[in-house]
A and B are shown apart, each in its own frame.
Chain A
Amino acid sequence: MQSTALPTPEQHGIRAHSDGPIVPVQTRSERFRSTDVADFAPITGREHEWKYSPVAAFADLTSGELDGSRLEVEATDAAGLSLSWIPRDDARIGRAGTPEERASANAWSSFGEALLVEVAGEEAKTITVTRSGLGTTPRAAHTVVEAAPNSRALVVLRGIGDARLSENVEVVVGEGANLTVVSLQEWTDDSVHLASHFARIGRDAKLKHIVVSLGGKVVRVNPSTHLAEQGADVEALGLYFSDAGQHLEQQVFVHHDAPHTRSRVTYKGALQGEGARSVWIGDVLIGNAATGTDSYEQNRNLVLTDGTRADSVPNLEIETGDIEGAGHASATGRFDDEQLFYLQARGIPEDEARRLVVRGFLAEVVQQIGDAELEERLIRALEAELQGS
């Protein structure tokens, strides 16, 4: 007969996690954070935020010295959009979030000046900020995108050429503003890019945040969104195409922290070729104050060849019962042979049918960017990916 002894801590899981000696922080909002790299222990690769990443491939960015000088940027002109460099002690820095891991903190500790993109005015407009020619030196960068109350714009941050870059991007969306931010990674094959995006969304404001990762050896873009005020809304979209030997990762975090906030997270990726990898972690935290939350996150991966690996980890934490809805979905699948059969039965050759299906699968995200020129260019880039290998 079993006695009525109190349960031991082990029975309730209060013990060292199998990932390492540290008990993981259970609540996403209570993760350790600091802007100072010295506050973070050296990376072993077993940490929950690093365990899917090839940490040895970018040790220089997480623990080495980074060049924090101004990045080479080129930007298109548009009325209501302005670009400037501000010193690191400027009050406009540090309002949207704080690093939660070492690469982000290292960039924060190292950048000299921050690039400020200011958005004003209610008419729709687009600015493309292209970063190119960053070279192979490990570098740090900091960008602040600020949308004034009721303003409206599409801001594209594009990366091309070589890069070894760790950066932080802050996005501050003022009351009633409607902002789209596209982070477009088209780096060269050997490039490494680690990015943390921190967004703070004001009352009744809306952010559409889109991560498009196509080029680079290791690309890790982790967007965190703080739905800080009533009626804040985020549409977090992602699109990635991982080729042989490529590691494309995104850790998405949405924090519902005010009543009647809404989030939709949709990340879609295709994997093709030996060693093609993708990682998607989707954390959604619905805080105590976030009554009436409406939230849904999903990740879909389309596996095109053998030898690929897609990790997909949705996490949902709910601290209040009074919500509209919260759901998540994740699916990683091979090509649907019935779709192929259908298209071929209409005379379309197999390779073309495949392209059509993959393009259709990824187009769902592209179609939501809201800029015809960019959408068309991305469709062409995806075509090239499909034909390239």
Chain B
Amino acid sequence: MSVLEIKNLHVNVETDQGTREILRGVDLTIREGEIHAIMGPNGSGKSTLAYTIAGHPKYTVVQGEILLDGEDVLEMSVDERARAGMFLAMQYPVEIPGVTVTNFLRTAKTAIDGEAPSIRTWLKDVRGAMTNLKMDSAFAERNVNEGFSGGEKKRNEILQLELLKPKFAVLDETDSGLDVDALKVVSEGVNRAHANTGLGILLITHYTRILRYIKPDFVHVFVAGKIAEQGGPELADRLEEEGYDRYHVAESATQ
């Protein structure tokens, strides 16, 4: 049984105004097959957590650990983390001019599996996954994210999630900017990956909307760089009604 552990994680980021501490002691354990929602107001450090797990060079871990089945993730390069079974669905996926989706997917799959996928089953898998995500087949010959709409970019992220079959996925505000139809399609994709591969999910979101389609086992409220409260799905319902205001009150009261 795979497990991803985050222990007392402190993360700084360099800005023009100097060093800023963003994460201030995050503790979180995700086991295979679990869905954790991380909810919090803007600027609380949710995306920093996502990018730190993936290894973005902009973020410096000053204290704490991230362990995947006991292995030190912080010692791994970005690509080693992916090959170890981690996945980040990005909020703003970048364009890669001149690299087609087909070429990109095959290159990534080959890197992650350590060998090229068998052509026949691979093409079938790609076509099937695209159909499920209601993606036009012409999509495969377009350059990665180039000229994609917001919804197409998110579908493309989930397409990769389904095809690359990671152990743990961090979904960074995958719901943002999606209309309800696209949100359903994307959520179905996430649920499929979860059902098919026993994926562990860290679902980062500002809104409770996506939780109607992806049911979390645990909800964590993230405020000022750490987890302020955690509970089951009922916590999300409470946030839906009350918003984040009471955490701000608690936060300012302690200062």
B74 in the interface, Cβ–Cβ < 8 Å?
Answer: no
Given A339-B96, A360-B97, A360-B143, is A344 in contact with B90 using a C-beta cutoff of 8 Å?
no
Interface bits B93-134 vs A (CB < 8 Å: 1, else 0): 111111100011001100110000000000000000000000
A352 in the interface, Cβ–Cβ < 8 Å?
Answer: yes
5 shortest A-B CB distances, which residue pairs? Answer: A360-B98, A347-B82, A344-B78, A346-B108, A360-B99
Given A337-B57, A360-B143, is A349 in contact with B97 using a C-beta cutoff of 8 Å?
no
Identify the closest chain A residue to B146 (Cβ).
Answer: A360
Chain A binding site: helix, strand, loop or mixed by DSSP? helix
A-B contact pairs, 12 of them (CB 8 A): A337-B57, A341-B54, A342-B90, A343-B108, A344-B78, A346-B79, A346-B112, A346-B160, A346-B164, A350-B77, A353-B79, A360-B96
A41 in the interface, Cβ–Cβ < 8 Å?
Answer: no
Contact A339 B94 (CB under 8 A): yes
Q: For residue B108, which residues in chain A have a CB less than 8 angstroms away from its CB?
A: 343, 346-348
* Number of A-B residue pairs with CB-CB distance less than 8 Å in the complex they form: 80
Q: For residue A361, which residues in chain B have a CB less than 8 angstroms away from its CB?
A: 97-98
Which residues of A (330-389) have their CB < 8 Å from a CB of B? 336-339, 341-350, 352-353, 356-357, 359-364, 367
> B54's contact among A338, A345, A356, by CB below 8 Å, is which?
A345
Q: For residue B87, which residues in chain A have a CB less than 8 angstroms away from its CB?
A: 345
User: In the docked arrangement, what's the CA distance between A359 and B111, Å?
Assistant: 18
Interface of B toward A, CB cutoff 8 Å: 54-57, 77-79, 81-83, 87-88, 90, 93-99, 103-104, 107-108, 111-112, 143, 160, 164
Contact A345 B78 (CB under 8 A): yes
Contact A352 B107 (CB under 8 A): yes
- A369 CB → nearest B CB, Å: 14
- A342 CB → nearest B CB, Å: 5
User: In the docked arrangement, what's the CA distance between A338 and B54, Å?
Assistant: 13
Q: For residue A367, which residues in chain B have a CB less than 8 angstroms away from its CB?
A: 98
The residue in B54, B55, B103, B111 that gathers the most chain A C-beta atoms within 10 A of its C-beta is B111
> A338's contact among B81, B94, B98, B99, by CB below 8 Å, is which?
B94
Contact A341 B56 (CB under 8 A): yes
The residue in B54, B98, B99 that gathers the most chain A C-beta atoms within 10 A of its C-beta is B98
> B111's contact among A337, A348, A362, by CB below 8 Å, is which?
A348
User: In the docked arrangement, what's the CA distance between A295 and B93, Å?
Assistant: 32
> A344's contact among B82, B95, B97, B160, by CB below 8 Å, is which?
B82
Q: For residue A357, which residues in chain B have a CB less than 8 angstroms away from its CB?
A: 96, 99
- A144 CB → nearest B CB, Å: 35
Q: For residue A343, which residues in chain B have a CB less than 8 angstroms away from its CB?
A: 96, 104, 108
Q: For residue B112, which residues in chain A have a CB less than 8 angstroms away from its CB?
A: 346-347
Q: For residue B82, which residues in chain A have a CB less than 8 angstroms away from its CB?
A: 344-347
Q: For residue A342, which residues in chain B have a CB less than 8 angstroms away from its CB?
A: 90, 93-94, 96
Identify the closest chain B residue to A337 (Cβ).
Answer: B57
Contact B79 A350 (CB under 8 A): yes
The residue in B55, B90, B97, B160 that gathers the most chain A C-beta atoms within 10 A of its C-beta is B97
Additional A-B contact list (19), CB under 8 Å, known A336-B94, A348-B107? A337-B57, A339-B95, A339-B96, A341-B56, A341-B94, A344-B55, A344-B77, A344-B82, A346-B79, A346-B82, A346-B160, A346-B164, A347-B82, A347-B112, A349-B79, A350-B77, A352-B111, A356-B99, A356-B104
